[in-house]
């Protein structure tokens, strides 16, 4: 194990053993989802500028932001919160603009104009080409209100709510598949015990299940989860009713010990990378419980519907705004590799949050838009969506973080789709390149590998409105591959490699 102060290392060696015969499961495209809440400048300013704005928009939605999310192939977007969800009453946000009443956004201490509501959210999803995931209000809402929302979105019958939807311009149902039953109901969503929440969940889900026929395959119902003990107690209360449950969620935020997104020590960097080990433990524990409560033919999945870095400058006063450096991209790569490894159980993840809030994909300032290093990490990983994950074992040196954890310098995952092997990597070492020797079992790579690399001179480097392209991926010269081959990954770099299989 290298001490975290080790800077004199010239070059590290690692082995990557990929076994094409050992499949781990299909990588759900939804693993690469995101989350947008009515918070700070995420929705208002970041996504919605209104139809009268000089900023180019389609019916009020920024075309630059929607276009960037479309380019990413964003598969799913969670909305409207977050804590906001359990104080949101959807009927405030539908109908003629002049009739929408502004309300107080309780948790984020800002006015909520209600200009962006259900119909605008669905329009955004259609512009981007992603699936909507709506989080229902359990904390201050009712089953009746939730059912009305599902009816508004999904029913094709002639009812009060479908007439309302049609009056608002949508003849055909939206057929929303993903519904979250509350958010953080152990905290901002009602300070409930797991037993209380299970009682509420059973009620909500019973009635929602009766709407299963509104989407092919039925509604996908997601319960709010928390730490191990809470999840265990919740699931215990769900005994005999697990057919009401498709998944339960985890929220995993890390990084609060750093000074800021762009000012941090090398120790903070390695600690953040080490936090992926903590995240993996949480995911593995949740998956263990999910498997235990799954029944034959009915799997319960884990959904990590909020995760990412959260630095001290992201507070209520700043609208949870933070910059985004190369370090965030490295963290993203390590976490996405980890989620890929748990693809038999992790069905969806939603990084927080899409624009201008926490670990954003995109930052905006007036009409300007910048794509963050995190955006580029997602961009480089998009080839995994819908692939089959295969065993990919790393044999690499570790570095000791200031929590005493042995953090591997190399993170990797591999998948196969349409005869192509797709490999994503991160070298988290700040100074040493890693020479990687790839061993392929069960097949051979043929021809030239397409390689792209995301790195910069300093791990604190970021994209600003003045210098938007400082941290962007670059295509490398194609390299020949075979049953075994070797390549060099620069220090603090994310890499993606695609190669045909023979
Ligand atoms: O993403 C910001 C907040 O973090 C969400 O509203 C809440 O669910 C979580 O605590």
Q: Considering 366, 384, 402, which residue would you say is the last residue of a domain?
A: 384
- What's the confidence (pLDDT) of residue 4? 54
The percent of residues in the chain predicted with pLDDT above 70, rounded, is 98
> Are 343 and 429 in a shared domain?
no
* Higher pLDDT pick, 185 / 296: 185
> Are 426 and 438 in a shared domain?
yes
> Are 17 and 86 in a shared domain?
no
Q: Tell me which H or E stretch contains 223.
A: strand 220-223
> Are 280 and 411 in a shared domain?
no
* Higher pLDDT pick, 446 / 263: 263
Atom 7 of ligand 1: nearest residue by CA position = 82
Question: Mean per-residue pLDDT for 209-236?
Answer: 97
Q: Is 184 a catalytic residue?
A: yes
Give yes or no for residue 9 having a pLDDT over 80.
Answer: no
Residues in a beta bridge with 247? 222, 301
Residue 206 CB: number of other CB atoms within 10 A?
Answer: 12
- What's the confidence (pLDDT) of residue 175? 98
Atom 4 of ligand 1: nearest residue by CA position = 82
Question: Mean per-residue pLDDT for 437-458?
Answer: 92
Question: Mean per-residue pLDDT for 204-229?
Answer: 97
Q: Which of 78, 109, 110, 188 to mutate to test the pocket of ligand 1 (most atoms within 8 A of CB)?
A: 188
Question: Mean per-residue pLDDT for 78-95?
Answer: 97
CATH number at residue 394: 2.60.40.1180
- The secondary structure of 465-495, three-state, reads CCCCCCCCCEEEEEEECCCEEEEEECCCEEE
Give yes or no for residue 7 having a pLDDT over 60.
Answer: no
Q: Is 296 left (phi over 0), alpha (psi -120 to 50) or beta?
A: beta
Counted domains in the chain = 2
Q: Could you tell me the pLDDT band of residue 374, with boundaries at 50, 70 and 90?
A: very high
> Are 413 and 377 in a shared domain?
no
CA of 453 to the centre of ligand 1 (A): 32
> Are 466 and 323 in a shared domain?
no
The residues near 466 (Cβ < 8 Å, ≥ 6 apart) are: none
> Are 34 and 134 in a shared domain?
yes
Q: Is residue 81 in contact with ligand 1, taking CB distance under 6 Å?
A: yes
Give yes or no for residue 296 having a pLDDT over 70.
Answer: yes
Q: Which of 255, 352, 359 to mutate to test the pocket of ligand 1 (most atoms within 8 A of CB)?
A: 352
> Are 202 and 293 in a shared domain?
yes
Q: What is the token pair recorded at 231?
A: 């999840």
Rounded Cα gap, residues 335 and 357, in angstroms: 19
Using only the alpha carbons of the chain, give its radius of gyration: 23
The residues near 138 (Cβ < 8 Å, ≥ 6 apart) are: 86, 146, 181, 182, 185, 189, 190, 197, 200, 201, 204, 224
- This prediction's pTM: 0.97
Inter-residue contact 426 to 272 (CB < 8 Å):
no
- What's the confidence (pLDDT) of residue 2? 67
Question: Mean per-residue pLDDT for 49-78?
Answer: 98
Q: Considering 356, 384, 412, which residue would you say is the last residue of a domain?
A: 384
Give yes or no for residue 479 having a pLDDT over 80.
Answer: no
Choose the catalytic residue: 184, 200, 237, 280: 184
Give yes or no for residue 35 having a pLDDT over 60.
Answer: yes
CA of 118 to the centre of ligand 1 (A): 20
Range of the domain at 449: 4-24+390-500
The C-alpha angle with vertex 494 and arms to 266 and 419, in degrees rounded to 5, equals 155
> Are 373 and 418 in a shared domain?
no
Q: What is the token pair recorded at 158?
A: 């002639």
Question: Mean per-residue pLDDT for 466-473?
Answer: 98
> Are 380 and 414 in a shared domain?
no
CA of 34 to the centre of ligand 1 (A): 13
The residues near 345 (Cβ < 8 Å, ≥ 6 apart) are: 283, 286, 287, 290, 291, 301, 302
Question: Mean per-residue pLDDT for 25-48?
Answer: 98
Question: Mean per-residue pLDDT for 368-383?
Answer: 98
Give yes or no for residue 40 having a pLDDT over 80.
Answer: yes
Cα–Cα distances in angstroms (integers) from residue 277 to residues 18, 80, 210, 235, 271, in the given order: 21, 30, 40, 25, 10
> Are 433 and 366 in a shared domain?
no
Give yes or no for residue 149 having a pLDDT over 80.
Answer: yes
Q: Could you tell me the pLDDT band of residue 477, with boundaries at 50, 70 and 90?
A: confident
Give yes or no for residue 6 having a pLDDT over 70.
Answer: no
> Are 12 and 42 in a shared domain?
no
Q: Could you tell me the pLDDT band of residue 62, with boundaries at 50, 70 and 90?
A: very high
Q: Considering 338, 368, 384, which residue would you say is the last residue of a domain?
A: 384
Q: Could you tell me the pLDDT band of residue 8, with boundaries at 50, 70 and 90?
A: low
CATH number at residue 335: 3.20.20.80
The residues near 238 (Cβ < 8 Å, ≥ 6 apart) are: 198, 201, 202, 223, 244, 245, 293
The percent of residues in the chain predicted with pLDDT above 90, rounded, is 93
Atom 8 of ligand 1: nearest residue by CA position = 82
């Amino acid at each position: 194990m290298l001490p975290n102060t080790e800077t004199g290392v010239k070059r590290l060696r690692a082995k990557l053993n990929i076994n094409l015969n050992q499949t781990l499961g299909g990588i759900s495209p939804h693993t690469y989802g995101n989350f947008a809440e009515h918070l700070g400048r995420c929705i208002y300013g970041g996504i919605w500028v209104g139809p009268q704005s000089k900023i180019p928009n389609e019916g009020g939605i920024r075309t630059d932001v929607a276009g960037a999310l479309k380019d990413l192939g964003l598969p799913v977007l969670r909305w409207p919160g977050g804590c906001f969800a359990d104080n949101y009453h959807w009927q405030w946000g539908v109908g003629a603009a002049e009739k929408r009443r502004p309300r107080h956004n309780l948790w984020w201490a800002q006015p909520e104009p209600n200009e962006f509501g259900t119909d605008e959210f669905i329009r955004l999803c259609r512009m981007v080409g992603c699936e909507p995931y709506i989080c229902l209000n359990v904390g201050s809402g009712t089953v009746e209100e939730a059912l009305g929302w599902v009816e508004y979105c999904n029913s094709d019958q002639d009812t009060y709510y479908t007439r309302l939807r049609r009056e608002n311009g949508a003849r055909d149902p939206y057929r929303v598949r993903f519904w979250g039953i509350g958010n953080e109901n152990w905290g901002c969503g009602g300070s409930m015990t797991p037993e209380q929440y299970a009682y509420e969940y059973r009620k909500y889900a019973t009635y929602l299940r009766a709407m299963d026929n509104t989407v092919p395959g039925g509604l996908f119902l997601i319960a709010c989860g928390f730490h191990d003990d809470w999840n265990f107690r919740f699931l215990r209360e769900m005994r005999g009713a697990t057919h009401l449950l498709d998944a339960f969620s985890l929220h995993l935020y890390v990084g609060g010990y750093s000074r800021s997104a762009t000012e941090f020590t090398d120790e903070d960097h390695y600690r953040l990378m080490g936090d992926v080990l903590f995240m993996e433990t949480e995911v593995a524990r949740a998956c263990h419980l999910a498997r235990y409560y799954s029944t034959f033919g009915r799997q319960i999945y884990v959904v990590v519907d909020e995760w990412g870095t959260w630095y001290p400058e992201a507070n209520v006063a700043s609208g949870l705004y933070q910059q985004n450096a190369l370090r965030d991209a490295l963290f993203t790569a390590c976490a996405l590799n980890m989620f890929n490894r748990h693809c038999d159980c992790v069905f969806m993840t939603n990084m927080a949050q899409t624009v201008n809030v926490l670990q954003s994909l995109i930052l905006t300032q007036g009409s300007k838009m910048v794509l963050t290093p995190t955006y580029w990490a997602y961009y480089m990983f998009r080839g995994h969506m819908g692939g089959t994950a295969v065993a990919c074992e790393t044999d690499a040196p570790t570095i000791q973080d200031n929590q005493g954890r042995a953090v591997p310098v190399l993170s990797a995952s591999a998948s196969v789709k349409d005869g192509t092997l797709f490999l994503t990597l991160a070298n988290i070492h700040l100074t040493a390149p890693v020479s990687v020797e790839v061993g392929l079992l069960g097949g051979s790579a043929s021809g030239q590998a397409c390689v792209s690399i995301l790195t910069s001179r300093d791990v604190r480097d970021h994209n600003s409105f003045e210098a938007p392209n400082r941290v962007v991926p670059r295509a490398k010269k194609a390299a020949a591959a075979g049953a075994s081959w070797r390549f060099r990954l620069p220090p603090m770099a994310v890499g993606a490699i695609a190669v045909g299989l023979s």
